[in-house]
């Protein structure tokens, strides 16, 4: 009886995967439009969704997105063959993918930059920090960051807090016990909006993308490592030529304008400052 | 009411998590009232228990209901006609009769709670040493490339899982014997 159950379960899985294959081959034969699988950092969600129709109509191709923390995407890419393009919110996870031989060499491109912002819920009683001194005196219950061990937004945020000198210790040392780590930067926004006494550090673009946030302080760009979104083509069995089109498109003036509209910063400005 | 409490069984856990995050939002009405009484739920151990409880309740409830429905009502009436109070009937008669299915129901709830991820991460976060559960610890270890820790935790959950199935099979066998 138990064996029957296991067998029927396995056959269901097999049926499911067979259906999947049929669907795929149908899609391929029905249209010659190439489909690009784009694995992109969670913070790029809004801007890339607005950008997709522009690219799709210009290059007669289709973009499929997979948004998550860059570390999750890097993990998925090194374990599967799905992705054509990877856009990481820092160079680190592209390096990892390259080290494991999954990156198409010579395709790495710096796309855009961003800024850091400390936020709380718009309904929060937390006062705006007028400067580093006020920031050091801050009293809150939870410091919500994308997990600083893995997630780019959290790594940048931790680097900034470590550089904030609060006399005896850095702001990071003062607050690390209050850390609430999340899987990606958008989850920081979700939690900060509902939790009293919580502050979070997110990208400047996230503040534009979400309602109900109050900006507490915007640190100077010199005080944290330059935020760098890096894109690269990923090795796959069937080579999609439009991958390089998309990489070029990401650096085009058209795309740049959209990035800036969504609160991103151009990489040059950041390195100058 | 029973269908409302059964909803977590059919909704994606992340949907339940999102709903609870909005419901217990400390800037919202319910969460606001609670936090006025100094009961803060989000991002601490209370949220872990709440998420696990809400998500596993329907399973426990359904299994218990099937067990209770199988009881002979007349038997209960006979017992009460001897002068026993309903509470006494429950403790003295119902519990001994249904001890195996009841334990199986709680075991089912326990394993469901152990596997809970979506709702827990949404309202309790994944704070090491505070709100991190077995599921979210495996997730963190896996995504951070800490494969050894992930394997260890996975092995641990396998042991618990097998033990639960084993125990529940024995219990199911016992109930069958008693019916004969």
Q: Mutation test of the interface with chain B: which of A74, A121, A180, choosing the one with the most B Cβ atoms within 10 A?
A: A180
Beta-carbon separation of A150 and B40 below 8 A:
no
- What does the mean pLDDT of chain A come to? 88
Selecting from B26, B42, B143 the residue whose C-beta is nearest the C-beta of A71 gives: B143
A229-233 β-sheet, strand order: A62-68, A35-41, A85-88, A229-233, A109-112
Q: Which residues of chain A approach chain B closer than 8 Å at the C-beta?
A: 69, 71-72, 75, 121, 123-124, 142, 144, 147, 149-150, 179-183, 190-191, 193-196, 198
Is the separation of the CB atoms in B135 and B117 below 8 Å? yes
**pLDDT tens-digit profile of A70-109?**
999 999 999 888 899 999 999 999 999 999 999 999 999 9
Count CA atoms within 13 Å of residue B126 on its CB side. 26
Instruction: With a cut of 50, say whether residue B20 has pLDDT above it.
Output: yes
Beta-carbon separation of A142 and B43 below 8 A:
yes
Residue B6 confidence class, pLDDT cut points 50, 70, 90: confident
Residue B180 confidence class, pLDDT cut points 50, 70, 90: very low
Any A CB within 8 A of B129 CB: no
The ipTM estimated for the assembled molecules is 0.79
A142-146 β-sheet, strand order: A179-182, A142-146, A198-203, A116-121, A213-217
Q: Running DSSP on this structure, what letter comes out for residue A234?
A: B
Selecting from B21, B126, B145 the residue whose C-beta is nearest the C-beta of A194 gives: B21
What share of chain A in percent tops pLDDT 70? 85
Which pTM does this prediction carry? 0.82
Beta-carbon separation of A182 and B126 below 8 A:
yes
Any A CB within 8 A of B24 CB: yes
Q: Running DSSP on this structure, what letter comes out for residue A216?
A: E
């Amino acid at each position: 009886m138990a064996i029957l159950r296991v067998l029927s379960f396995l056959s269901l899985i097999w049926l499911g995967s067979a259906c999947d294959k049929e669907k795929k081959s149908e899609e391929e034969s029905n249209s010659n439009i190439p489909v690009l699988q784009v694995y992109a950092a969670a913070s790029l969600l809004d801007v890339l969704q607005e950008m997709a129709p522009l690219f799709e109509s210009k290059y007669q191709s289709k973009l499929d997105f997979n948004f998550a923390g860059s570390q999750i995407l890097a993990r998925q890419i090194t374990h599967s063959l799905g992705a054509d393009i990877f856009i990481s919110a820092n160079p680190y996870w592209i390096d990892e993918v390259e080290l494991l031989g999954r990156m198409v060499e010579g395709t790495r491109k710096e796309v855009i930059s961003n800024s850091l912002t400390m936020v709380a819920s718009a309904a929060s009683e937390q006062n705006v920090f007028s400067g580093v001194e006020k920031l050091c005196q801050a009293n809150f219950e939870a410091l919500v960051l994308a997990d600083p061990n893995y997630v780019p937004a959290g790594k940048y945020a931790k680097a900034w807090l470590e550089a904030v000198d609060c006399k005896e210790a850095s702001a990071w040392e003062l607050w690390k016990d209050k850390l609430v780590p999340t899987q990606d930067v958008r989850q920081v926004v979700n939690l900060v909006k509902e939790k009293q006494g919580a502050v979070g550090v997110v990208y400047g673009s996230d503040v534009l993308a979400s309602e109900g946030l109050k900006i507490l302080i915007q640190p100077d760009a010199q005080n944290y490592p330059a935020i760098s979104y890096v894109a690269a083509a990923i090795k796959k069995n069937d080579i999609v030529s439009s991958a390089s089109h998309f990489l070029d498109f990401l650096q085009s003036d058209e795309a740049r304008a959209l990035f800036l509209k969504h609160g991103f910063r151009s990489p040059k400005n950041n390195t100058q400052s | 009411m029973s269908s409302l409490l059964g909803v977590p069984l059919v909704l994606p856990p992340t949907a339940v998590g999102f709903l609870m995050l909005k419901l217990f939002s400390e800037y919202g009405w319910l969460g606001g009232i609670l936090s006025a009484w100094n009961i803060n739920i989000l991002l601490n151990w209370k949220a872990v228990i709440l998420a696990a409880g809400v998500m596993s309740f329907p399973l426990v409830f359904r299994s218990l209901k099937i067990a209770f429905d199988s009881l002979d009502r007349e038997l209960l009436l006979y017992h009460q006609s001897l002068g026993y109070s309903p509470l006494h009937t429950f403790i003295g008669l119902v519990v001994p009769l249904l001890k195996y299915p009841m334990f199986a129901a709680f075991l089912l709830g326990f394993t469901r709670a152990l596997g809970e991820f979506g709702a827990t991460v949404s309202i309790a976060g994944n704070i090491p040493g505070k709100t991190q559960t077995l599921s979210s610890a495996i997730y963190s270890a896996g995504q951070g490339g800490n494969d050894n820790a992930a394997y260890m935790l996975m092995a641990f959950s396998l042991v618990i899982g097998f033990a639960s199935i084993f125990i529940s099979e024995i219990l199911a066998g016992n109930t069958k014997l008693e019916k004969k």
